[in-house]
């Protein structure tokens, strides 16, 4: 090679190197790189399910179909309700892998039917009449400041069955679920069939394969009549044309029993694609447990329950208790919580919000930013959080005064060996909703679930109507509530109260992971994974704007 040519090549390489170095310095605002080294949230839908190639000729893999005529032979052991391992030593901050695979089980009940009865109300009948059910309001016995709770008693349950049109007799409907079919599921199906003549069967798919299974069934013209959308799947079932709007039923959903605050979270441009009923345990709400003995030892005179009942339970009072009960030298912290998005959700914020205009990129919202600053401060400034982030374990060991987790942790079933009632002495603990910012109307933070109707030529007409009637009956868990489902009245009061608040579900996961490039944990760990990250928090948060914008655009184009 000639000397001059060699010099020209070296000069060119030098220019390239300089440009590369300059680009590397301009990091703020650039699209974050996927980081596979970061831990991911359970239930992460990080794969591109919109590009799944489903074999429509085989719709039976990983599924089991249960005939409701067999009620007595079903196992009630729901320790593994997803078909896979559910090691509850780390129930992972109430996300899908634990919260929805272990929290939605055989019982799936929530409403409490005993207590004093006061007023009765009747639903509306706009359009095609839906089930009009008399509701009885059961007063809470804990405090006049806690709103009354609405449940359905045994007579009301029968009213639902009595309203099912005779012409639907002989219809057959299938419900796609992800948990092991339990005795109560079959009892419901059989009771419904006995009263209406409509045959109900369940088909179980593993949680991680649920959407793929639904897609293959739709492609094979073998759609189930009913299927679910959980928060981290949204909006994929809609963009993939797997679900039809609930307006297709012609029903009126203004009856008070419908949890429209939850349903709105799963809408697109004002069109709803799923149904939720108040009082159901099909959604996981965020709650705060506390150890009464530790609070007493540390001189805390007002418990979180006291503060909640007087309307003074908020971020600041929660932090105050956490500071009073923290002794880092002795390994004692004020609280343990696995995921810091609870603060954001309890402020009524999420990275992406759904409204009548469509999906809104909310990443630059000031209240959202303040929530993440607060999340950072409780860990690094106030040092009141157990930094092992191992869910309930520090709380069970007596090393943490409070524990933030999913509402399923309140369940009293003996098989729930990693839940609070099985790990704490009776009367030694209390529970309240996760707090919201001071001065703000309370927001119930949750990971929501709605149920709707898959697309398909068969899911129309009388089949669609039969499915709607069963869904209305199936989700009305209050009619089947066992007094022992939760161990204390306080648990019931907390659940009932949260259903009546503004609700914020963590639905941005599905938008973030749309296309499979990022995991559900990518933003969160980018924001507060390190002690020096507060100064970078706003710029790190802003850097995700273009990522979410691109995914929202992709979703809008697919829906168009």
Tally of residues, the chain = 560
Q: Which of 111, 123, 109 is nearest to 256 (CA)?
A: 123
Residue 235, preceding peptide bond in cis (omega within 30° of 0): yes
Bridging pattern class, strands 429-433 and 358-361: unpaired
Segment (H or E) for 268: strand 267-268
The helix/strand/coil state of 445 is strand
CA distance 106 to 81: 9
Question: 219 near 54, Cβ under 8 Å?
Answer: yes
Which residues are CB-contacts of 488 (< 8 A; sequence separation ≥ 6)? 431
Among left, alpha and beta (phi > 0; psi -120 to 50; other), residue 401 is: alpha
The tens place of each residue's pLDDT in the chain, 560 residues long, gives 444 444 444 444 444 443 343 333 333 333 343 333 333 322 333 333 333 333 333 444 455 566 544 443 333 333 332 333 333 333 333 333 333 333 333 333 333 332 222 222 323 333 333 333 332 223 233 333 333 233 334 445 557 888 999 999 999 999 999 999 988 889 899 999 999 999 999 999 999 999 999 999 999 999 999 999 999 999 999 999 999 999 999 998 888 899 999 999 999 988 999 999 998 888 999 999 999 999 999 999 999 999 999 999 999 999 999 999 999 999 999 999 988 999 999 999 999 999 888 899 999 999 999 999 999 999 999 999 998 888 799 999 999 999 999 999 999 887 778 899 999 999 999 999 999 999 999 999 999 999 999 999 999 999 999 999 999 999 987 555 567 788 999 999 999 999 999 999 999 999 999 978 888 788 888 888 887 788 999 999 999 999 999 999 999 998 87
DSSP string, 184-238: HHHHHHHHHHHHH--EEEEEEE-GGGHHHHHHHHHHTT---SBEEEETTTTTHHH
CA distance 446 to 54: 31
Beta bridge partners of 405: 287
Residues of each domain in the chain carrying CATH 3.40.190.10? 107-282+448-481, 284-445+506-559
Residue 295 tokens read as 């609070």
Question: 380 near 259, Cβ under 8 Å?
Answer: no
Phi, psi of 454, rounded to the nearest 5 degrees: -60, 155
CA distance 545 to 363: 6
The pLDDT, as a whole number, for residue 526 is 85
Question: 534 near 370, Cβ under 8 Å?
Answer: no
Report pTM: 0.76
Residue 202 tokens read as 């369940």
Residue 370 tokens read as 């303040």
Neighbouring C-alpha atoms within 13 Å toward the C-beta of 393? 12
How big is the CA angle at 432 (ends 254 and 138), to the nearest 5 degrees? Answer: 45
The helix/strand/coil state of 541 is helix
Task: Just give the CATH number of 284-445+506-559.
Answer: 3.40.190.10
The pLDDT, as a whole number, for residue 304 is 98
The pLDDT, as a whole number, for residue 482 is 67
DSSP 35: -
Q: Which of 280, 236, 216 is nearest to 495 (CA)?
A: 280
Question: 136 near 153, Cβ under 8 Å?
Answer: yes
CATH topology of domain 107-282+448-481: D-Maltodextrin-Binding Protein; domain 2 (3.40.190)
Bridging pattern class, strands 135-138 and 117-121: antiparallel
Neighbours of 159 (CB within 10 A): 15
The helix/strand/coil state of 256 is coil
DSSP 419: S
The helix/strand/coil state of 327 is strand
Neighbouring C-alpha atoms within 13 Å toward the C-beta of 394? 26
Distance, C-alpha 482 to centroid of its chain: 23
Among left, alpha and beta (phi > 0; psi -120 to 50; other), residue 404 is: beta
CA distance 227 to 63: 14
Question: 204 near 63, Cβ under 8 Å?
Answer: yes
Question: 111 near 276, Cβ under 8 Å?
Answer: no
CA distance 70 to 229: 27
CA distance 376 to 380: 6
Residue 195 tokens read as 């009263």
Bridging pattern class, strands 333-337 and 400-406: parallel
Residue 441 tokens read as 């109307």
Question: 190 near 240, Cβ under 8 Å?
Answer: no
DSSP 5: H
The pLDDT, as a whole number, for residue 478 is 59
Question: 104 near 94, Cβ under 8 Å?
Answer: no
* Residue whose structure tokens are 């868990």: 477
Q: Which of 113, 121, 124 is nearest to 149 (CA)?
A: 113
CA distance 206 to 347: 33
Question: 277 near 160, Cβ under 8 Å?
Answer: no
Q: Which of 395, 375, 388 is nearest to 289 (CA)?
A: 395
């Amino acid at each position: 090679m000639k000397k001059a040519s060699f010099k020209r090549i070296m000069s060119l390489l030098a220019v390239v190197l300089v440009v590369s170095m300059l680009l590397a310095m301009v990091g703020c605002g650039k699209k974050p790189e996927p980081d596979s080294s970061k831990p991911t949230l359970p239930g992460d839908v990080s794969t591109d399910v919109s590009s799944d190639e489903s074999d429509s000729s085989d719709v039976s893999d990983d599924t089991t179909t249960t005939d409701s005529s067999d009620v007595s032979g079903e196992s009630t052991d729901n320790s593994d309700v997803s078909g896979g391992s559910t090691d509850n030593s780390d129930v992972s901050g109430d996300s899908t892998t634990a919260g929805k695979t272990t929290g939605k089980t055989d019982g799936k009940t929530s409403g409490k039917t005993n207590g004093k009865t006061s007023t009765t109300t009747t639903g509306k009948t706009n359009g095609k009449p839906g089930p009009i059910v008399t509701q009885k309001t059961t007063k809470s016995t804990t405090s006049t400041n806690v709103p009354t709770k609405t449940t359905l008693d045994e007579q009301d349950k029968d009213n639902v069955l009595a309203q099912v049109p005779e012409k639907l007799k002989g219809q057959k409907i299938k419900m796609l679920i992800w948990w092991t079919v339990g005795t109560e599921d079959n009892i419901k199906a059989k009771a419904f069939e006995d009263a209406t003549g409509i045959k109900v069967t369940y088909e179980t798919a593993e949680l991680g394969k649920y959407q793929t299974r639904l897609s293959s069934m739709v492609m094979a013209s073998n759609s189930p009549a009913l299927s679910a959308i959980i928060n981290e799947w949204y909006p994929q079932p809609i963009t993939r044309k797997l679900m039809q709007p609930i307006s297709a039923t012609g029903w009126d959903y203004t009856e008070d029993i419908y949890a429209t605050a939850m349903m709105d979270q799963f809408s697109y441009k004002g069109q709803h694609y799923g149904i939720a009923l108040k009082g159901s345990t099909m959604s996981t709400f965020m709650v705060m447990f506390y150890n009464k003995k530790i609070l007493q030892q540390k001189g805390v005179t007002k418990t979180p329950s006291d503060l909640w009942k007087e309307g003074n339970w908020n971020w600041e009072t929660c932090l105050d208790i956490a500071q009073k009960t923290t002794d880092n030298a002795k390994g004692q912290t004020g609280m343990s919580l696995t995921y810091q998005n609870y603060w954001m959700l309890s402020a009524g914020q999420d990275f992406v919000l759904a409204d009548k205009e469509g999906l809104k990129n909310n990443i630059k919202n000031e209240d959202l930013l303040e929530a993440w600053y607060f999340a950072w401060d409780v860990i690094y400034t106030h040092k009141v959080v157990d930094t092992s982030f191992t869910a309930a374990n520090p709380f069970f060991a007596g090393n943490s005064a409070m524990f933030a987790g999913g509402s399923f942790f309140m369940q009293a079933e003996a098989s729930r060996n990693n839940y609070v009632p099985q790990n704490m002495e009776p009367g030694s603990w209390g529970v309240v909703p996760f707090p919201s910012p001071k001065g703000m109307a309370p927001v119930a933070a949750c990971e929501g679930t709605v149920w709707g109707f898959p697309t398909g030529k068969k899911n129309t007409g009388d089949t669609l109507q039969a499915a709607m009637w069963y869904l209305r009956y199936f989700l009305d868990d209050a009619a089947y509530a066992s007094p022992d489902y939760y161990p204390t009245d306080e648990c019931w009061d907390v659940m009932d109260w949260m259903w009546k608040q503004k609700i914020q579900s963590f639905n941005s996961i599905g938008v973030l992971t749309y296309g499979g490039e990022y995991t559900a944990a990518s933003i969160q760990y980018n924001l507060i994974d390190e002690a020096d990250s507060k100064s970078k928090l706003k710029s790190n948060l802003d850097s995700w704007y273009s990522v979410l914008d691109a995914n929202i655009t992709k979703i809008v184009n697919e829906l168009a």
